[in-house]
Amino acid sequence: MLDFIIVGAGPSGLYSAIELAKNGNEVIVLEEDRKIGIPRHCTGIISNDAAKLIGNAAFGSIVNKVKRAVFKYDNKSFDLSFPSDVTLVLDRIRFEELLYEEASKLGCKIFTGKRVKKIDIQKDKVVVDAGDVHYAKGLIYAAGSRPSLLPFMKTPESIPGMQYEIEGEVEDQEAVEIIFAKEAEGFFAWLAPTSSSSFLVGLANSKISPKLALDKFIEKRRIKGKISAVYSGRIVIGGALKENVFSRVAFIGDSAGHVKPTTGGGLFFGTLGSKIIGSLFPSYLESFDPKVLYKINSLTKKYIVERINRMQRFSKLFFNMSQRQKEIILDSIVNSGAIKEISIDMQDFHENVISLFIKDLSFSRKGLKSLINSFLGRA
Ligand SMILES: Cc1cc2nc3c(=O)[nH]c(=O)nc-3n(C[C@H](O)[C@H](O)[C@H](O)COP(=O)(O)OP(=O)(O)OC[C@H]3O[C@@H](n4cnc5c(N)ncnc54)[C@H](O)[C@@H]3O)c2cc1C
């Protein structure tokens, strides 16, 4: 019998395979796609801190470093600049290939073109049917935002996103744009340079087809260039599971809601969750010691769940506002003193940025007053 079966060879599945194999576990990974990294889902923007956590696969796949985030709305904009290259853009396909190589070198067997159809959790083992039947002591569920295969677990809440890779003129290779546009209802649009002559442009939309919305956005903004690749995927926005270990199964990555609902970025928290599970889940399965489970739950709660769920409370409110209400909030942010206090180490911890603004009186007074006026139809 195997030690672990991992469902899904995305970043979380592969990263947890590496952690488990490093600790001497026999691991297989089952992936339904035929090629690792393809189709590409993600923009690949991560912080330098996330890259440090992930390691070689992140540093080996950097295609661009950005120094500025430019927020655009209603013909206005504001910048967040950082003194050094703290935000990285990865070649997302290469990134997964490097994780795959690392896992394979450690002895993990990764099978592609194998869709898991059924999972049976028994008292002494898990049984996984992917055409062939596999048995293991434990299962790591890393199937992303796909419909859950386990009846006791809900599918994570997500919205559809669409992204084009475009070969064309790049205005500023060092800047990522975040655009609160009408076409990105329920989320935002983005533009991320991948080189001096290519960029990714995308958006998510909770109401209409993101492809229609993206085409409209590109036309309206007169974005020019040749589309060289098209990606779609679901952005998880529903917050983190309160607990992610259930008997012989651990949920990680998008499946566990380990994604920042403010931006849809899942690589940092997905890796963190995979690290916790990869290092502690094997010893939990040895004896089902409640102390080990307590350790897993408290680390996950402190470093992932509380942070993500604080972000989620704000993002749910913000993304559901009308365009006008969002603009009022963004105006207040621009005018708030707190904007100067945003620091590099908050890149993955948006709950700290939100707290800064909430605490800042000028933001809360102006923002709240405008919001109330807007609700009352006076704005
Ligand atoms: C448009 C878009 C842009 C994004 N941009 C960023 C970004 O810039 N930065 C960032 O940090 N995050 C970003 N994200 C989020 C990021 O892509 C995810 O958080 C991350 O990929 C999650 O990794 P994962 O391994 O948990 O899931 P996934 O990457 O979704 O991997 C799950 C894998 O499981 C496989 N699978 C599913 N079901 C089965 C089955 N039954 N049997 C076998 N295999 C199965 C899938 O084929 C897939 O390969 C973005 C997401 C989207 C949609």
Q: Are strands 189-195 and 175-179 parallel, antiparallel or unpaired?
A: antiparallel
Residue-level pLDDT at 371:
62
CA of 130 to the centre of ligand 1 (A): 20
Q: Counting atoms of ligand 1 from 1, which one is nearest the CA of 116? A: 42
Q: Hey, how many other C-beta atoms are within 10 angstroms of the C-beta on 61? A: 23
Q: Which of 231, 264, 298 is the last residue of a domain?
A: 298
Q: Whose CA is closest to atom 30 on ligand 1? A: 144
Q: Is the CB of residue 268 less than 8 Å from the CB of residue 50?
A: yes
Q: Would you write out the chain's pLDDT as a tens digit for each of its 379 residues?
A: 999 999 999 999 999 999 999 999 999 999 999 999 888 878 999 999 999 999 999 999 999 999 899 999 988 999 888 767 789 999 999 999 999 999 999 999 999 999 999 999 999 999 999 999 999 999 999 999 999 999 999 999 999 999 999 999 998 999 999 999 999 999 999 999 999 999 999 999 999 999 999 999 999 999 999 999 999 999 999 999 999 999 999 999 999 999 999 999 999 999 999 999 999 999 999 999 999 999 999 999 999 999 999 999 889 888 988 888 888 888 888 888 778 778 777 888 888 888 888 777 666 666 666 666 655 555 4
Do 178 and 139 fall into the same domain?
A: yes
Do 204 and 326 fall into the same domain?
A: no
How many DSSP H helices and E strands does the chain contain?
Answer: 11, 18
Q: Find out whether the beta carbon of 274 lies less than 6 Å from any atom of ligand 1.
A: no
Q: Whose CA is closest to atom 16 on ligand 1? A: 266
In a domain, 310, yes or no: no
Three-state DSSP at 168 gives coil
Do 184 and 257 fall into the same domain?
A: yes
In a domain, 306, yes or no: no
Do 149 and 32 fall into the same domain?
A: yes
DSSP label at 367?
H
In a domain, 307, yes or no: no
Residue-level pLDDT at 379:
46
Q: Is the CB of residue 239 less than 8 Å from the CB of residue 309?
A: yes
How far apart CA 348 and CA 260 sit, in angstroms, is: 8
In a domain, 44, yes or no: yes
| Domain harbouring 204, CATH code | 3.50.50.60
Map tokens 């620091």 to a residue.
Answer: 343
Domain that holds residue 363: 321-375
Identify which of 359, 354, 370, 362 has the alpha carbon closest to the alpha carbon of residue 335. 362
Do 278 and 338 fall into the same domain?
A: no
Identify which of 353, 295, 290, 357 has the alpha carbon closest to the alpha carbon of residue 329. 357
Residue-level pLDDT at 375:
52
CA of 364 to the centre of ligand 1 (A): 36
Mutate to test the pocket of ligand 1, among 5, 14, 16, 32 (most ligand atoms within 8 A of CB): 32
How far apart CA 230 and CA 227 sit, in angstroms, is: 7
Q: What is the gyration radius of the CA atoms in the chain, in angstroms?
A: 21
Q: Find out whether the beta carbon of 8 lies less than 6 Å from any atom of ligand 1.
A: yes
Question: pTM value?
Answer: 0.94
Do 269 and 331 fall into the same domain?
A: no
Q: What total number of domains does the chain contain?
A: 2
Q: What are phi and psi of 128, to 5 degrees?
A: -120, 125
The H-or-E segment that residue 361 falls in is helix 361-375
Do 175 and 291 fall into the same domain?
A: yes
Do 293 and 325 fall into the same domain?
A: no
Do 284 and 366 fall into the same domain?
A: no
